[in-house]
Structure 1
Amino acid sequence: MSRFLLVVLPLAGHINAPLAVAAALQRAGHDVAWCGPESYLRPLVGPDAQIHPTGSRYYPEQDGHGPEALRFVWESYLVPMARFTLPAVERAVAAYRPDVLLADQHAFAGALVALRHGLPWATLAPSALELTRGPGADDLARPHLDRLREKAGLPPGTVAEVLFSPHLVLAFTTAALLGPTPLPDSCVLVGPAFGRGPAYDGFDWEWFDPGRRHVLITVGTLAEGVDREFFGTAVRALADLGDRLQAVLIAPAGAVPDPPAHILVAGRVPTLRMMPHLQAVVSHGGMGIVGEALANGVPLVVAPIRYDQPAVADLVAAAGAGIRVPFIGLSADELRRAVTTVLDDPAYRAGARTIGDSFPAAGGAEAAVAHLETLARKER
C-alpha cells in the first residue's frame, strides 16, 4: 500500500478526474488524502475522507476574452491561490508524509512543495490549456512562477518544471482528440476519468419526450458575466424547433425569462446520466463536458470563451466531431444552423464515436492508477 496526497483546486472542470483517480486508488488498496478547500471537497469526497484544508480564495468575475482573459486568471486567481495555499500544502506533506503527491496542473503550490522536498509527484492535467500551449505562454507564466519559487524557497527554474512533473504527467484525453500535439516525455494519455461528482436526483426525467431529439446547452461554471447574452441567443436559435427537439439549458434562476416549453432551464442537471439520452451538446469547450459528450458519441457545437477552449474547439472540429462557432457576436441563425447540422449530418456523430471509442482503450482512472503505482514503486 502507498500513500497518495491529491492537491486540488475548487474548480468544477478540474475535480472530476481527481475524484475518479482517488476512488480507483482506494479500490486498489492504497491510502488517499486530499489537500484543498474543505468546504468544497467534503460534499464530494464524503465524511470519512482525510482532508488537509487550505482555505480558499474568491474567484473574481471577469468579462475578458482571449489572451487577456488568460492573463487575468493567472494574475487574479491561480497565482494568489498558490501563494495563499503554499503553507497549507507544506503542513499537509509534513503531517501525511505521502509516498507520491498528485497536483492539479494549476495548483502550483503542490508542484512547488514537491520540488522543494524532492518528493515524487505527478501532474494532473484535466484541461488542454498547457498541453496546447502556444507561443508566448512562457512569457506570461515565467515571472509569476519565478516569484512563487522564491516564496517556496526554490532557486530559479523553468516554467515546465512546475507545469509538468518530470516523473509523470497524467493527461485525461487521447491522441484521437489531441492530434499530433508535442507532449513532454513524462506525459501519458489515459483518456477521461469520470468521478461520481455531487449526488443530484432532482431532474424531471418525465419531461423528456422520446419522440424528439435532445440537446444540452452549457457554458460551464466560470462564464458568469458573459453568459446572459449567449443564453438569449440559444433560446432564439431553438425557439421554432420544438416539433423536433427538446433542449436543456444550464443557467441560473431568472437568467432566461419565459423560455418556450421545449426548452428546460435548470441550474443543475446530472450531465453524466443525461449524456446517453442526448443527440448534441452546445458548450464552451471545457475539457470536462467535451470528454463526457465524446465518451457517449455525442457531437458538439463549441462556442469557446477563453483559456484552452479555443484550442479544444479546434480539436473537436478537426476531428470531425463537431462545429466551432464564435461566442461573441454569435447570431441565432448561425447557432441554429450549427445545431441542426450536427443533428442531421451523421458524419458528426461518427466523428464523435471515433474519439469516444479511443477512451476505453486508454484506460481512464485505472490506467492512471497503474502509472502511479509504478511511480511509487520506483521511488521507494
Structure 2
Amino acid sequence: MTRFLLVTPPLLSHVRAFEALGEALVARGHRAAILLNAGGTALVRSPDIEPLEVGPGAGPAQLTDRPTGLFGILRTVREGAWRTEALVTEGPRLAARWGAEAVLVDQMEPAGALLAEHLELPFLSVAAALPIDPDPAIPAPYLGWPYDPSPEGLKRNRGGERVARLLLRRQRETIRAACSRLGLPLRERMEDCLSPLASLSQTVAGFDYPRAPAARIAALGPFRSTKDNVGVSPLRSDGIRPLVFASLGTLQGHRLGLFQTIARACRQVGARLAIAHCGRLSPAEAATLDAELVTDFLPQRAILAEADLCICHAGLNTVLDALEAGVPVLALPIAYDQPGVAARLVHQGAGLSLSHRLLSPSDLARALQRLTREPGFRREAERLGREIASAGGAARGAELAERLVAETLDGISRSRRLKQPEPA
C-alpha cells in the first residue's frame, strides 16, 4: 500500500480527473489525498480521497472567467503564481504530516513537483489539459497553430515561446523563488517541473499532434470515476432534424451573446438545440435563448450519445466526451488550452473551429451544414471514439502509476542499502 498525494489547481475539471485517478488507486489498495488551495476542497466529492487544504491563496472563486486579452492573460498568470506560492509555503508540511510516499502532479501546478522533490518522493505528471511536454514541432497548447514541422513552422514555434516567456514572467519568478526556498536546483518553467518518469494524459495519441517516439506521455483517454452515473438524456434524436448540444463550460457559460448566436444559427439550419450554461445565466437571460432545451447542467455523455453535433468552447473534457460518442465538434475556443484543442480537432478532421469574436449566425450556420453534410467529420470522430474507448483511462493510469512508483521506491531502497556501511 502506497500513500499517493494528488496536487492540482482548484479547477473543477482538473479536480474531477484527479478524483478518478485517486479512486482507481484506492481500488488497487492504496490511499489517496488531494492537496488544494484555500476553498478548493469544496470541489471534492469523493469519500475515498482525503482533502488537504492550504491557505491563503487563490481559491476557485478567484479563477478569472474573463481570461482573454493581455490583461486577462496577466491576471490568470498572477492568480496561478499566488496558488503556487501558497502550496509551496504550506504544502510540504501538510504532505509530510499526512505521510505522502508518492505524488501525482498536475502539469499546470509546478508546486506539486517541487514539493515532491523537496520531500524526495517519486512523482508522476498528469496532463488534465493538453500535455505541455516540450516538442519543437508542436506549438504550445494555448496557441491554435497548425502542426508544421517544417523549418518555418519550427521558427514560428520558437517565436511563440519567446512571447510566452515575456507574458509568464511572474510565473517564472515564483518557480525560481520556490526552488530557492526549498533548496532545489534552479528552474523557472512549468516544463522544467515535469516528471522524469511519465506524464499521464487524458488525450489519446490519435487526437494529439505527432510526437517524437521518445516522448514519455502515456495517452490514456479521459479520467472518469467509475461511480459516475452517465444519466439519461432529456432529449432523443428524432432521426429527422439534427440534434445539437451546446456548452461553453463552467467558466464561460455566462456568454449570453455567444449562446444567442448559436441559437440563431441552429434555427437557420433547422436543427434542434440543447444548451447547458452551467449555472452562469440568470433565468431571465436563459429565457431569451430560442432553443428546445436551456438549462444549467445536462448529463453530458448521455445527451452526446443522442446528438448529431456538439458546439463548445473546445474544453478538453467536452471534446473528448463528444469524440467518444462519435460526434463531430464545432469549436469556439476562448482561452487556456482551448485554441490548441480546437487546432487538433481540425488537424484530425473531426471538427471545425471558428473564432468566437464577431461571429455571425450565418458563419456558424455554414459550419454546421458542413459538419452535417460531409461524412468525413463523423468518420474521423468515430475513429477517435474507438481509440478513446480502448485507451484505459483512470484505471490504466492508476496501474501505471503504481508500477512506476514501486519500481522507483525499490530502486531507492536498493541504493540506500548499498550505501550502508558493512557491519564490523
Please classify the TM superposition score into its range, dividing by the shorter chain length.
0.7 to 0.9
> For residues 90 and 342 of structure 1, what CA distance do their matches in structure 2 show?
50
Task: Give the aligned partner of residue 233 of structure 1.
Answer: 261
Partners of 2:19 and 2:49 within 8 A in 1 = no
> For residues 131 and 370 of structure 2, what CA distance do their matches in structure 1 show?
28
Is 1:159 equivalent to 2:189 in the alignment? yes
> For residues 70 and 183 of structure 1, what CA distance do their matches in structure 2 show?
33
Q: Structure 1 residue 238: deviation in Å?
A: 1.8
Task: Give the aligned partner of residue 77 of structure 2.
Answer: 74
Shift in alpha-carbon separation, 1:363–1:35, aligned structure 2, 3 A = same
> For residues 214 and 364 of structure 1, what CA distance do their matches in structure 2 show?
28
Q: Deviations over 1:288-317 (max 9, x none)?
A: 111111111111000111222111111101
Is 1:325 equivalent to 2:340 in the alignment? no
Shift in alpha-carbon separation, 1:199–1:363, aligned structure 2, 3 A = closer
Report the AA paired with residue 307 of structure 1: Y
Task: Give the aligned partner of residue 292 of structure 1.
Answer: 321
Report the AA paired with residue 248 of structure 1: I
Alignment equivalent of 2:304, drawn from 252, 259, 275: 275
Task: Give the aligned partner of residue 407 of structure 2.
Answer: 378
Task: Give the aligned partner of residue 161 of structure 2.
Answer: 135
Shift in alpha-carbon separation, 1:192–1:217, aligned structure 2, 3 A = same
Q: Deviations over 1:121-160 (max 9, x none)?
A: 1111111162452523445253342233234443412525
Partners of 1:174 and 1:359 within 8 A in 2 = yes
Is 1:111 equivalent to 2:113 in the alignment? yes
Alignment equivalent of 1:174, drawn from 189, 194, 204: 204
The answer to which structure, 1 or 2, has the higher relative contact order (CA under 8 A, 6+ apart) is: 1
Alignment equivalent of 1:305, drawn from 330, 334, 349: 334
Is 1:245 equivalent to 2:272 in the alignment? yes
Partners of 1:16 and 1:196 within 8 A in 2 = no
Shift in alpha-carbon separation, 1:170–1:309, aligned structure 2, 3 A = same
Q: How many residues align?
A: 374
Partners of 1:146 and 1:156 within 8 A in 2 = yes
Shift in alpha-carbon separation, 1:118–1:368, aligned structure 2, 3 A = same
Report the AA paired with residue 219 of structure 1: L
Shift in alpha-carbon separation, 1:306–1:259, aligned structure 2, 3 A = closer
Q: Deviations over 1:335-358 (max 9, x none)?
A: 111123212322111111111212
Partners of 1:69 and 1:306 within 8 A in 2 = no
> For residues 42 and 64 of structure 2, what CA distance do their matches in structure 1 show?
25
Partners of 1:249 and 1:263 within 8 A in 2 = no
Partners of 1:298 and 1:352 within 8 A in 2 = yes
SS of the residue 1:45 aligns to? coil
> For residues 196 and 329 of structure 1, what CA distance do their matches in structure 2 show?
41
Q: Structure 1 residue 319: deviation in Å?
A: 0.5
SS of the residue 1:273 aligns to? helix
TM-score calculated relative to the size of structure 1: 0.88
Over aligned residues, Cα RMSD in angstroms? 2.8
Is 1:339 equivalent to 2:386 in the alignment? no
Partners of 2:88 and 2:178 within 8 A in 1 = no
Report the AA paired with residue 121 of structure 1: F
TM-score calculated relative to the size of structure 2: 0.79
Matches within 5 A, 1:248-259: 248-250=275-277, 251-253=280-282, 254-259=284-289
Q: Structure 1 residue 16: deviation in Å?
A: 2.9
